[in-house]
C-alpha cells in the first residue's frame, strides 16, 4: 500500500536548471499532505548546481543521476519506482508553476480520492512571432491546455499530470519509444486498463516556455510524426487508428512512384507541373487558413503553418516506410480516443479546399 496523502513529484531533467527546480521545490503545499521530490538527471556529464546538490545531501529532495542518457520514458520510470506516495505528479524541467499548483491538486485528491489521475493545464506565453502563432493555430499547444475546457480526458502531455499509483500499469512508460508518444501510449494504456479517464483540474496551472525561444519546430514536429507512427502499431492505440485521404507528403510519394510512367507517356514538364500543383495547393490552403484564423493575411505565418503541418506528416510517413510498416501509409490516429474503430476518409473544410484547388489547377493545366 502507498501513502494515501503523499505526493511524489518526479522531474526528469537534462538541464538541472537551478532557478526552475527551486521554484517547484518551494511551492506551497496542501495541508496534511506529504510532498516528496524526485529529480532524475538524464545527463551524466552535467555539473550539479550547488543548491540542488545541497538539497539532496540534506534529504530535502531525492536526486538520481543516470549513468548514461536514457531518454524521457526510462528516466521517468526511474523516478516513479523510487517513490512511495499514492499520488505521482509528473512535471517537465522547464515549466514555471503557478503558486497554487499543489494546492489545486490537493483539493482534487480530497474530492476524488480514488480517481485514475488528474490533468493539469500547461499554458504557453502569448505568441510573439509567426513561428509561435503558427504553433498555436496548428494545434501544437492544444493538448497541453485541454484541462481548461474538458472535465475528463484519456491523456494529456506529461508536462503537468498527476497519476494514481494504485491505477497504473506496472510496466510504466514504454522505454523503446525514443521519439515521442510514450506519454500518449502510457496514459491511454492506464485509462483503458482501468476503464476511467483523467479528471481535469483547471486551477493546476504551469507555464511552459516556447521551445528554442520561439523558433520554428522542424525537428520536434518531424520527431512527433515519427513517434506517432511508432505508437500506432501498439495494442492500446491500434483500435483508434484509421486511414484517410493522402496528405501532401503521401501524394508526393505517389507522384514519385508514378514518375517513370509520366516521363514515358508525357514529359518532364508535366511531372514538374504536377509537383507544383500539389505543393502550391497545400500552400494556398494554408494561406486561406491563415486569413480565416486571424482575419488578416500573413505570408510568413502561412509559410510556418505549411512547414509545421508537413514536417509532422513527413515524419509519420518516413517512420512507416523505413520500418517496413506499409499500412502506415495514409494512416492517422484519432488523438481524442473518443471512439474505437473510427470512420475512415474524413472530410473537413481544409481538405475540401485543397482538393478543389488541385482540381481547378489540373483543369486549367489541361485547357491551357
Asked whether the beta carbons of 228 and 185 are under 8 A apart, the reply is no
Residue 292 — very low, low, confident or very high, per pLDDT cuts 50/70/90?
A: very high
pLDDT at 1 over 70: no
Q: What is the mean pLDDT of residues 89-107?
A: 96
Asked whether the beta carbons of 40 and 56 are under 8 A apart, the reply is no
Give the helix/strand (H/E) hosting 52: helix 50-57
Q: What is the mean pLDDT of residues 327-339?
A: 95
The whole-chain average pLDDT of the chain stands at 94
Give the helix/strand (H/E) hosting 46: none
* Residue 346 C-beta-side C-alpha neighbours within 13 Å: 12
Asked whether the beta carbons of 123 and 206 are under 8 A apart, the reply is yes
Nearest to 85 by CA among 142, 37, 13: 37
What is the structure's pLDDT at 113? 94
pLDDT at 353 over 80: yes
What is the structure's pLDDT at 72? 84
pLDDT at 82 over 70: yes
Distance CA 245, CA 112 (A): 42
What is the structure's pLDDT at 365? 84
What is the structure's pLDDT at 367? 81
> What are the sequence ranges of the domains in the chain?
3-214, 239-367
pLDDT at 78 over 90: yes
Give the pLDDT confidence of 308-329 residue by residue, as tens digits.
999 999 999 999 999 999 999 9
Q: What is the DSSP annotation of 76-116?
A: HHHHHHH--EEEEEEE-TT-EE-TTHHHHHHHHHHH-TT-S
281-286-294 Cα angle (round to 5): 150
Pick 3-214's CATH classification: 3.90.550.10, 3.40.50.720, 3.30.310.10, 3.30.470.20.
3.90.550.10
Q: What is the mean pLDDT of residues 85-113?
A: 96
75-76-80 Cα angle (round to 5): 125
Distance CA 365, CA 368 (A): 5
Handedness of CA 226, 231, 237, 243 (dihedral sign): positive
pLDDT at 44 over 90: no
What is the structure's pLDDT at 46? 85
Cell 513527413 maps to which residue? 314
pLDDT at 305 over 80: yes
Cell 473537413 maps to which residue? 348
Backbone angles phi, psi at 171, to 5 degrees: -75, -10
Q: What is the mean pLDDT of residues 66-79?
A: 89
pLDDT at 368 over 80: no
What is the structure's pLDDT at 98? 96
Asked whether the beta carbons of 177 and 230 are under 8 A apart, the reply is yes
Nearest to 33 by CA among 99, 103, 112, 98: 103
Backbone angles phi, psi at 331, to 5 degrees: -95, 145
Give the pLDDT confidence of 133-192 residue by residue, as tens digits.
999 999 999 999 999 999 999 999 999 999 999 999 999 999 889 888 999 999 999 999
Nearest to 8 by CA among 123, 116, 102: 102
pLDDT at 4 over 80: no
Amino acid at each position: 500500500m502507498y501513502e494515501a496523502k503523499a505526493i511524489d513529484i518526479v522531474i526528469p531533467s537534462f538541464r538541472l536548471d537551478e532557478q526552475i527546480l527551486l521554484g517547484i521545490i518551494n511551492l506551497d503545499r496542501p495541508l496534511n499532505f506529504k510532498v516528496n521530490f524526485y529529480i532524475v538527471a538524464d545527463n551524466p556529464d552535467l555539473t550539479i548546481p550547488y543548491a540542488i546538490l545541497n538539497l539532496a545531501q540534506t534529504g530535502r529532495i531525492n536526486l538520481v543521476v543516470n549513468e548514461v542518457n536514457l531518454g524521457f520514458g526510462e528516466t521517468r520510470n526511474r523516478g516513479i519506482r523510487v517513490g512511495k506516495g499514492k499520488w505521482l505528479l509528473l512535471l517537465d524541467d522547464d515549466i514555471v508553476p503557478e503558486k497554487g499548483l499543489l494546492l489545486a491538486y490537493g483539493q482534487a485528491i480530497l474530492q476524488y480520492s480514488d480517481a485514475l489521475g488528474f490533468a493539469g493545464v500547461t499554458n504557453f506565453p502569448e505568441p510573439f512571432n509567426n513561428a509561435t502563432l503558427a504553433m498555436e493555430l496548428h494545434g501544437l499547444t492544444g493538448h497541453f491546455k485541454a484541462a481548461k475546457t474538458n472535465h475528463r480526458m484519456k491523456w494529456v502531455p506529461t508536462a503537468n499530470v498527476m497519476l494514481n499509483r494504485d491505477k497504473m500499469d506496472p510496466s510504466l512508460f514504454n522505454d523503446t519509444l525514443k521519439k515521442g508518444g510514450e506519454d500518449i501510449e502510457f496514459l491511454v494504456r492506464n485509462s483503458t486498463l482501468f476503464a476511467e479517464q483523467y479528471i481535469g483540474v483547471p486551477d493546476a496551472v504551469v507555464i511552459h516556455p516556447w521551445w528554442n525561444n520561439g523558433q520554428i519546430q522542424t525537428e520536434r514536429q518531424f520527431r512527433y510524426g515519427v513517434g506517432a507512427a511508432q505508437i500506432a502499431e501498439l495494442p492500446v492505440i491500434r483500435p483508434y487508428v484509421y486511414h484517410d485521404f493522402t496528405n501532401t507528403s503521401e501524394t508526393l510519394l505517389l507522384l514519385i512512384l508514378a514518375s517513370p510512367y509520366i516521363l514515358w507517356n508525357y514529359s518532364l514538364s508535366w511531372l514538374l507541373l504536377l509537383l507544383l500543383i500539389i505543393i502550391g495547393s497545400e500552400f494556398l490552403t494554408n494561406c486561406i487558413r491563415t486569413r480565416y484564423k486571424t482575419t488578416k493575411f500573413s505570408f510568413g505565418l502561412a509559410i510556418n503553418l505549411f512547414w509545421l503541418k508537413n514536417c509532422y506528416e513527413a515524419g509519420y510517413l518516413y517512420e512507416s516506410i523505413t520500418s517496413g510498416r506499409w499500412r502506415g501509409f495514409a494512416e492517422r490516429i484519432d488523438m481524442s480516443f473518443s471512439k474505437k474503430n473510427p470512420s475512415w476518409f474524413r472530410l473537413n473544410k481544409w481538405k475540401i479546399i485543397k482538393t478543389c484547388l488541385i482540381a481547378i489547377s489540373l483543369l486549367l493545366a489541361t485547357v491551357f
